[in-house]
């Protein structure tokens, strides 16, 4: 039992389980990509790990090295838990509502994917026997990005004196979560008070960080409805504003509080400017009102589900998980607006709040094909950091732009370069996402203003990273691919193929945008050199085994002793040294298999089958990034049940807490991997040149359907036993292909086509103890 | 100008140069391998970097990681500047002798390679015009290893009141030398006072370290000769004992002080036990007396020079440098006695006082062929750490024993595993030194008690590090060879060849010592497996270029842009990221070239010539370990002038301060490299099976001669233009070979043989700006 009720459009948890609070605070987190709030109880305690995050708001700390080296990043960045506005405490005749005391006669919380709110309903009997019903609903607005709001209602069973305390609380003490004393020190009361103001029901607090030079303002405003004798008071300190309201509420009546929250932050703006910004946000929110905010939120989500919904007929739990995944990806990216999409979104402090390559390679495909403006904004963030990436390339002795392995503000924060800086495929992934976004939207303005520069500067990086060898092949040596159980390798297939595409896309972008190309000083012979390098790109193949090598020499390495590895020793990085992992044929996560997805055009079907079987037997999936991609290739080679197992693994990573770390936040890339498993796996969607499909229904399901957007056309693909139906939802017509046959789908004229038999899959097995759980739909 | 006077048997510096004190404190350091004292002025100030070191006495500190990993060492070790007993201050009529004040009418210091003492003579006029002559002589006894002594004489020109203060001083404040605040904290007053005692002219202080659990006692005793009215006093504090003697000394008379110092330290022993040990040492020293200590020291060195002297006729400065090198190698190793020989000996705090692989591969060959007992003791130290190395292998997922990259106590202290832990050749180097020592001495007791176990456990390491590939070759993947500008490579030739020898030597040792083999549970099929792996060891060769690959794939990597690299950017590790260095054909230090020396039996002469030329063009010598080895191969391929240039570079590394870091201590391996350049380079000495020579005289020299010991036979080889003379000094007869022809040299019957013409050298060049300085003898 996972603890959640299964339902198609919401995630609900009944009863209180204190040990589960940490993970449910993550799954119940609300965010719009700009502001994030973990799903902490209104009253603040009991709690797991409290957290309110502002995208791009971090503290800096020194990165320590036992042995330093040239070019090592000196400063780390860590997301900061900012001023908490969620807290609303209730005192019932002076007894604080605390779920650990008295009795919770009823208690449930529900995250609603259609309203975009987190609801809570608690019937509580105080230790002295007083009963109240508390209902609350919380949202972080998709439409007013600086705003969150909470509607809080208390209904007493008897005439009771009720007191509400509504706080803005800065420098909330948190259990230390870093083993490094310097990081811990940086995060211990990270906010320095700069300004406080409170009057009537309104207040603003402003703080700055000590080292990173960021400033934030948080404001709150309130609306109250109550019975007689309402008394209220507001009090401000440096790190606390408390609005207190007391009322005598007769049985059958209610005390209703609406709390509006506004946040503003900046590296540049002054305290007065930030205060003005926050007050404007609050004024706007009050003008819209609680009902108005609810209505806007619903409308926003209606539109989202129209273009993004996935229907799974025959597996209710997976149905729920798919919508949960889509909802959280939307939350992570909807209003990021030239900020990063962190690996955990804004749902927790995991990975220090950093964004990684999986933002472009996993999360952005989902957004590109559902909410393309959000994909564009995320890529605009990358573009806004291109100067930092150029500086980094220079430090590394390279041309062009080298984007960071992990970062909040665009500067490299990785303290272990073999698995960080050396993973230059990060830059190729950005180029891939740029090209994918351009192909899916035809957005010429972005192409001209941002896309071309990103493609050109990453192409330049590859040209300086690689060289033509004595046989005329173009090699990229000494880099690290996606598989983190290998590092500093030559000619990693994934990297080389993503670089190949990067070089070609850069050349095409320059042809499309000659003025931009000229501003970037791209000369015709530079374009020629890109195309020559792309043409001669080395892709190592082991002729003896008939499979590609993940990197040069990989298949000559020793096999890992899977039989002698205890199930408890996984993930291997916690029980085995990198040294031993790197030099053996053990794979943390899809690497060559990912190449066969995103550069499927570079492999024959027979190669895909042989490679998939070979690498499947050596992949341990110690990363949550892996299962979605394995699902895609399993489906392609005809291993449909296995594909379904992997799809389920990706989809349930967070709901089943498969890695026992959901308390630090959700795995955005894994959630995205579930979408990829459906759309690219069972839908067979590829976008190598044009958009194509090869749908297949997994065993046991009655129907699987998904929706997406391509060049402004919204359409759905529904897969049933033996056939698939393509239907235009808006716009059109759509030109695509079904299992290799061109199809044109006109508006109002769905096309239903038969599904050919899948190929006979190769014989496939996984390392001992690492088989995915068998998922039987139903 | 280097500042030193050139003389055949001593190193002398005239005048005072405060900025040069730091480096001369290193070159003038005295040590017996057990105790080391930097060449600080008697009066303590002015000074560069004070230092008194006890072999194996260190403090521990946490190793920080920005991103930690399984199996990373958690504790670092750093050599501690212990209780300083060198300090003798003089007050002339209340004016302290301080060379920065008044006038030094004469001042010189001289390190004498035959007496084994550091002498100083200063004629000083105080600011108020009083004149004294101070002569002092200092030794760290080779014969009484816990003892040092200073003989200090003051002769006034007028009747003067003289006061001497002789100190034992603990926790001497030193300028911070670590950028890491944790290391700095560990070394700030590292000694905790445990005991003090002073009476008459004698005193003992005992301290312990805070974290490493080591305890030390330092004691002093004094003898005084003076004119009338001698008054003395002793005073003890926790960190200071001061013996004060005052006398009125008439003109023409002298005040003479002999100070005896004794040191004891232990992880185990109590304060009373250590005190007793120190007092016994002092009693022994007083019994021997200053003249007796001088005589013992001289006799010890007479014996050393009989077996080790090198004569360079035609290059006086190199003559001096060779004896300086031999003297300091002797000082580093003479009385180490189951302690490590650190990279800097006991001459400074560089490399944190750690021992590295170059102890076995560079320093031990010198000792094996001159003072074999010292080589044996150093290998006994390695053997004493075999349990730690077994534990380390286990953590790393390997069998056998994995010796540390850097350590004081035998536990790995390297905080950067790609260039530390992954350099498994460390263990092969130990095996190499064991086999070399055994072949050179026939020491059966050591072979049985230590050598066989070291060979077996290191052979087991290779068996688990390597595997048989699909073509039957034995591969060793993912390790780092000697060249620190490459890391985590497959089939590094040096590593594989040193492993090959290791495996064969282990098999032979087990045959010689069946009981030991049986105790180590070596079964016959394990021996067979070693020999099979050795036979099939892969040695990558680039058939297109006709050269060996330093490691698999090396010759396919991009060339370094030497033309575009500024002279000021060397050493490259300070201006270029490891990432870029690792993946290109740029070599920090001899790696394949070192393999061609120590495993010269695995290469043809033509291969050596082609390889030497290829790698010479890519080797930047950013390490002081390189020149000696390049000298050896340059001589072998016939590039005699180049060989001489490299010999000079190795020999002058410290005297010319070529790396601008002699202030942190001498480069023992580079000093040893000078010996290797003479004996293995121009002497052509090889010991692949039996001892052989191929002497050649460098251009410009009249004669080059060296002495060594082999299986108890002491002999000399003298090279003149056109011929070489082999002469037995003691023992004999010696069976050897001269340029491939067997020779037997009988006692009393020197053999003179003609030297054939050297081969025509290949065309050789170095990277731009990295040519060695041309050395013209004379």
Q: Select from B577, B582, B586, B622 the residue whose CB has the most chain A CBs within 10 Å, as the one to mutate to test that interface.
A: B577
A229 plus A83 within the same structural domain: yes
pLDDT, one tens digit per residue, over A606-657 is 999 999 999 999 999 999 999 999 999 999 999 999 999 999 999 999 999 9
Final residue before a domain boundary, out of A269, A299, A329: A299
Q: How far is B623 from chain A (nearest CA, A)?
A: 16
Peptide bond into A733 cis (omega under 30): yes
Give the per-residue SS3 of B383-400.
Answer: HHCHHHHHHHHHHCCCCC
Binned at pLDDT 50, 70 and 90, residue A184 comes out as: low
Question: Is residue A742 one of the residues assigned to a domain?
Answer: no
The stretch B663-683 carries a mean pLDDT of 97
Q: Find, in chain B, the residue whose alpha carbon is nearest to that of A64.
A: B66
Indicate yes or no: CB of A65 within 8 angstroms of CB of B70: no
A613 and A691 share one domain: yes
User: CA of A77: which chain B residue's CA is closest?
Assistant: B66
Cβ within 8 Å of residue A1, ≥6 positions away: none
B94 C-beta neighbours (distance < 10 Å), count: 9
Scanning the structure block, which residue is given the tokens 């200090």? B152
pLDDT at B179: 58
Is ipTM > 0.90 here? yes
Tens digit of pLDDT for each residue in B482-517?
999 999 999 999 999 999 999 999 999 999 999 999
Task: Determine whether the interchain pair A70/B552 forms a contact, defined as Cβ–Cβ distance below 8 Å.
Answer: no
Rounded to the nearest 10 degrees, what angle do helices A452-465 and A524-535 cross at? 60
Residue B277 inside a domain? The answer is yes
What's the gap in Å between the CA of A475 and the closest CA on chain B?
A: 8
Q: Name the DSSP class of B370.
A: T
The CATH number linked to B523 is 1.50.10.10
Residue-wise pLDDT for B631-641, tens only, equals: 999 999 999 99
Residue A486 with chain B: CB contacts under 8 Å: none
Which of B415, B542, B579, B585 should we substitute to test contact with A (largest number of A Cβ atoms within 10 Å)?
B579
| C-beta of residue B61 within 8 angstroms of C-beta of residue B183 | yes
Cβ contact, residue pair B477, A573, below 8 Å: no
Q: Give yes or no: residues B605 and B560 share one domain.
A: yes
Sole residue written with tokens 């069998």: B399
- Note the pTM of the prediction, 2 decimals: 0.95
Q: What pLDDT score was predicted for residue B129?
A: 94
Chosen for mutation from A62, A63, A67 (greatest number of chain B CBs closer than 10 Å) is: A67
pLDDT tens for residues A674-695?
999 999 999 999 999 999 999 9
Q: What is the rounded CA–CA span in Å between residue A488 and residue B246?
A: 68
Report the C-alpha gap between B488 and B419 in whole angstroms: 8
Q: Confidence class of residue B182 from pLDDT cuts 50, 70 and 90?
A: low
Do B580 and A397 count as a contact with CB atoms less than 8 A apart?
Answer: yes
CATH code at A128? 2.70.98.40
CA-based nearest distance A355→chain B, Å: 16
Q: What distance, in Å, lies between the first and last C-alpha atoms of chain A? A: 15
B265-294 average pLDDT score? 97
> What distance in Å separates residue A576's CA from the closest CA in chain B?
6
The two structure tokens encoding residue A238: 């440096």
- Measured between CA atoms, the residue of chain A closest to residue B72 is A577
Q: Is residue A719 part of a domain?
A: no
B66 → closest Cβ in A415, A475, A487? A415
B131 & B227 share domain: yes
Distance from the Cα of A637 to chain B's closest Cα (Å) equals 27
Q: Is residue B156 part of a domain?
A: yes
Which of B285, B304, B323 delimits the end of a domain? B304
Burial annotation B130-168 (CB, 10 A radius, 16+ → b, else e): bbbbbbbbbbbbbbbbbbbbbbbbbbbeeebebbbbbbb
Continuous H helices in A536-667: 578-582, 592-598, 605-616, 626-637, 640-652
Cβ(A442)–Cβ(A511) below 8 Å: no
A600 and A664 in a single domain? The answer is yes
Report the pLDDT value the prediction gives residue B470, as an integer from 0 to 100: 87
Phi-psi region of B777 (alpha: psi -120 to 50; beta: other; left: phi over 0): beta
| Of residues B469, B478, B579, nearest to A396 (C-beta) | B579
DSSP label of A755: P
Going by pLDDT thresholds of 50, 70 and 90, the confidence category of residue B184 is: low
Q: Which residues of A are annotated as a binding site for substrate?
A: 357-358, 588-589
Average pLDDT, chain A: 96
Q: Which residues contact A248 (CB under 8 A, 6 or more apart)?
A: A159, A160, A161, A162, A227, A228, A229
Interface test with A, best of B63, B66, B181, B561 (most A CBs within 10 A): B66
Query: With pLDDT > 90 as the criterion, what percentage of chain B qualifies?
Result: 94
Q: Quick one: pLDDT band at residue B1, thresholds 50, 70, 90?
A: very low
At residue A1, the pLDDT reads 46
Q: Are B316 and B363 members of one domain?
A: yes
Q: Å from A249 to nearest chain B CA? A: 55
Cβ within 8 Å, pair B553-A556:
no
How far apart CA B35 and CA B57 sit, in angstroms, is: 10
* Chain B residues with CB-CB distance to A573 below 8 A: 69-70
Select the residue of B71, B180, B552 nearest A577 (Cβ to Cβ). B71
Q: Provide the pLDDT for residue A182.
A: 60
pLDDT of B178 above 70: no
In terms of Cα–Cα distance, which of A420, A376, A380, A379 is closest to A402? A420
Choose the closest CB to B64 out of A64, A544, A553: A64
Containing B11, the helix (H) or strand (E) segment is strand B10-14
pLDDT 10s digits, B17-57: 999 999 999 999 999 999 999 999 999 999 999 999 999 99
Pair (B299, B345) in one structural domain: no
Q: With contacts defined as CB-CB under 8 Å, which chain B residues touch A179?
A: 68
Distant-in-sequence, close-in-space partners of A213: CB < 8 Å, separation ≥ 6: A267
pLDDT at residue B102 above 60?
Answer: yes
Question: Are A396 and B553 in contact (CB < 8 Å)?
Answer: no
Residues of B with Cβ-Cβ distance to A582 under 8 angstroms: 478, 488
Residue B15, number of CB atoms within 10 A of its CB: 12
Mean confidence (pLDDT) of chain B: 96
Catalytic residue ranges of A:
484
What's the rounded Cα separation, in Å, for the pair B663 and B21?
Answer: 8
Bridge partners, residue A265, by sequence: A216
DSSP, collapsed to helix, strand or coil, labels residue A431 as helix
Number of residue pairs across A and B with CB atoms under 8 Å? 156
Estimate the share of chain A in helix, then strand, then coil, as percent rounded to the nearest 5. 35, 25, 40
In DSSP terms, which residues pair with B96 in a beta bridge? B91
Q: Which residues pair with B476 in a beta bridge?
A: B466
- Based on the fold, state whether residues B204 and B320 are members of the same structural domain: no
Rounded Cα distance, A192 and A210, in Å: 7
Considering only CA atoms, which of B425, B352, B339 is closest in space to residue B75? Answer: B352
- The alpha carbon of residue B272 is apart from the nearest alpha carbon of chain A, in Å, by 37
The closest alpha carbon to A464, from A373, A383, A390, belongs to A390
Chain A residues with CB under 8 Å of B467 CB are: 558
Tokens of A30: 């609300």
Is the CB of A579 less than 8 angstroms away from the CB of B71?
yes
* Boundary (domain end) residue, out of A688, A709, A730: A709
Residue B188 tokens, joined? 């700030």
Q: A556 vs chain B: nearest CA distance in angstroms?
A: 6
Neighbours of A79 (CB within 10 A): 27
Interface test with A, best of B394, B414, B466, B478 (most A CBs within 10 A): B478
Residue A106 lies in a domain: yes
How many domains does chain A contain in total? 2
pLDDT, tens digit (0-9, with 9 covering 90-100), for A487-517: 999 999 999 999 999 999 999 999 999 999 9
Of A88, A90, A147, A79, the residue nearest A116 (C-alpha): A147
Residue A487 with chain B: CB contacts under 8 Å: 488
Residue-level pLDDT at A778: 62
Question: Is B475 a member of any domain?
Answer: yes
- Write out the binding residues of B for substrate: 357-358, 588-589
- Which residues in chain A are contacts of B65 at CB distance < 8 A? 64-66, 415-416
Q: Is B484 a catalytic site residue?
A: yes
- Do the chains contact at B579 and A421, CB–CB below 8 Å? yes
Do A107 and A38 have their domain in common? Answer: yes
Query: In chain B, whose CA is at the least distance from the CA of A181?
Result: B64
Residues of A in contact with B574 (CB under 8 A): 70
For residue B426, the chain A residues in CB contact (below 8 A) are none
Judgement on whether residues A380 and A490 belong to the same structural domain of the protein: yes
Whether residue A339 is found in the same domain as residue A257: no
Choose the closest CB to B477 out of A398, A420, A583. A583
For residue B323, the enclosing domain spans: 309-709
Please tell me which residue in B337, B484, B552, B636 is annotated as part of the active site: B484
Asked whether the beta carbons of residue A68 and residue B179 sit closer than 8 angstroms, the reply is yes
Instruction: Let me know if residue B171 belongs to a domain.
Output: yes
Are A291 and A324 in the same domain?
no
Whether A678 is covered by a domain: the verdict is yes
Closest CA to A247 of A234, A224, A221, A228: A228
The reply to whether residue B577 touches residue A70, judged by beta carbons under 8 angstroms, is yes
Q: What are B201-245's pLDDT values in tens digits?
A: 999 999 999 999 999 999 999 999 986 778 999 999 999 999 999
Half-sphere exposure for A540 (CA within 13 Å, toward CB): 21
Pick from A66, A467, A558: CB nearest B65: A66
For residue B399, list chain A residues with Cβ-Cβ distance below 8 A. none
């Amino acid at each position: 039992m996972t603890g959640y009720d299964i339902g198609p459009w919401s995630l609900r948890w009944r009863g209180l389980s204190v040990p589960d609070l940490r993970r449910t605070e993550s799954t119940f987190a609300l965010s719009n990509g700009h502001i994030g709030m973990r799903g902490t109880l209104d009253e603040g305690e009991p709690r797991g790990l409290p957290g309110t995050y502002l995208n791009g708001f971090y503290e800096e700390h020194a990165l320590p090295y036992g042995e330093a080296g040239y070019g090592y990043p000196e400063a780390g960045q860590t997301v900061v838990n900012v001023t908490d506005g969620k807290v609303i405490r209730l005192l019932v005749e002076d007894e604080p509502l605390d779920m650990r005391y008295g009795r919770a006669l009823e208690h449930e919380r529900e995250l609603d994917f259609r309203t975009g709110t987190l609801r809570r309903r608690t019937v509580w009997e105080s230790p002295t026997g007083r009963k109240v019903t508390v209902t609350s609903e919380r949202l972080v607005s998709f439409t007013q990005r600086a705003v969150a709001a909470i509607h809080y209602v208390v209904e007493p069973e008897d005439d009771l004196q009720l007191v509400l305390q509504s706080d803005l609380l800065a420098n909330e003490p948190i259990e230390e979560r870093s083993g490094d004393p310097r990081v811990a020190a940086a995060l211990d009361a990270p906010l320095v008070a700069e300004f406080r103001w409170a009057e009537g029901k309104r207040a603003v607090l402003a703080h700055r960080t000590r080292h990173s030079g960021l400033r934030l303002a948080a404001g709150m405003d309130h609306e109250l409805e109550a019975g007689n004798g309402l008394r209220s008071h507001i009090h401000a300190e440096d790190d606390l504003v408390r609005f207190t309201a007391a009322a005598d509420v007769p049985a059958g009546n209610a005390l209703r509080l609406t709390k509006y929250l506004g946040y503003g932050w900046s590296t540049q703006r002054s305290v007065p400017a930030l205060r003005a910004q926050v007050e404007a946000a609050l004024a706007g929110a009050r003008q819209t009102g609680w009902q108005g905010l609810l209505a806007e939120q619903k409308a926003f989500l209606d539109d989202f589900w129209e273009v993004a919904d996935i229907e799974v007929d025959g597996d209710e739990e997976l149905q729920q998980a798919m919508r949960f995944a889509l909802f959280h990806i939307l939350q992570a990216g909807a209003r990021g607006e030239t900020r990063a999409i962190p690996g955990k979104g804004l749902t927790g402090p995991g990975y220090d709040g950093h964004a990684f390559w999986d933002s472009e390679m996993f999360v952005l495909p989902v957004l590109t094909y559902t909410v393309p403006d959000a994909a564009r904004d995320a890529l605009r963030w990358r573009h806004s950091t291109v100067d930092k990436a150029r500086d980094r390339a220079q430090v590394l002795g390279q041309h062009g732009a080298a984007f960071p392995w992990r970062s909040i503000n665009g500067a490299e924060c990785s303290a272990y370069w073999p698995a960080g800086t050396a993973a230059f495929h990060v830059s190729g992934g950005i180029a891939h996402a740029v090209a994918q976004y351009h192909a899916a939207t035809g957005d010429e303005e972005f192409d001209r203003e941002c896309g071309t520069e990103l493609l050109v500067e990453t192409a330049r990086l590859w040209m300086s990273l690689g060289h033509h060898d004595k046989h005329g092949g173009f090699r990229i040596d000494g880099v690290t691919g996606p598989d983190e159980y290998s590092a500093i390798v030559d000619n990693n297939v994934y990297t080389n193929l993503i670089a190949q595409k990067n070089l070609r896309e850069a050349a095409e972008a320059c042809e499309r945008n000659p003025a931009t190309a000229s501003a970037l000083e791209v000369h015709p012979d530079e374009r020629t050199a890109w195309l020559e390098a792309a043409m001669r790109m080395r892709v190592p193949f082991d002729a003896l085994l008939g499979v590609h090598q993940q990197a040069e020499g990989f298949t000559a390495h020793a096999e890992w002793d899977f039989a002698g590895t205890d199930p408890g020793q996984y993930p291997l990085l916690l029980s085995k040294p990198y040294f031993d992992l790197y030099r053996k044929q053990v794979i943390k996560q899809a690497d060559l298999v990912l190449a066969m997805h995103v550069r499927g055009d570079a492999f024959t079907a027979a190669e895909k089958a042989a490679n998939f079987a070979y690498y499947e037997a050596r992949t341990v999936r110690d990363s949550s990034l892996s299962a979605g991609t394995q699902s895609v290739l399993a489906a392609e080679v005809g291993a449909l049940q296995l594909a379904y197992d992997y799809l389920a693994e990706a989809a349930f990573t967070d709901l089943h807490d498969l890695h026992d770390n959901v308390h630090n936040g959700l795995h955005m890339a894994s959630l995205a991997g579930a979408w990829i498993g459906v759309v690219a796996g069972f839908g067979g969607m590829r976008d190598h040149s044009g958009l194509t499909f090869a749908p297949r229904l997994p065993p046991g399901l009655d129907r699987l359907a998904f929706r997406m957007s391509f060049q402004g056309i919204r359409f759905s693909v529904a897969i049933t036993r033996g056939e698939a139906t393509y239907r235009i939802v808006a716009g059109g017509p759509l030109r695509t292909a079904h299992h290799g046959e061109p199809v044109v789908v006109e508006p109002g004229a769905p096309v239903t086509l038969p599904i050919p038999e899948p190929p006979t899959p190769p014989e496939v097995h996984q390392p001992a103890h690492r088989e995915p759980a068998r998922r039987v739909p139903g």
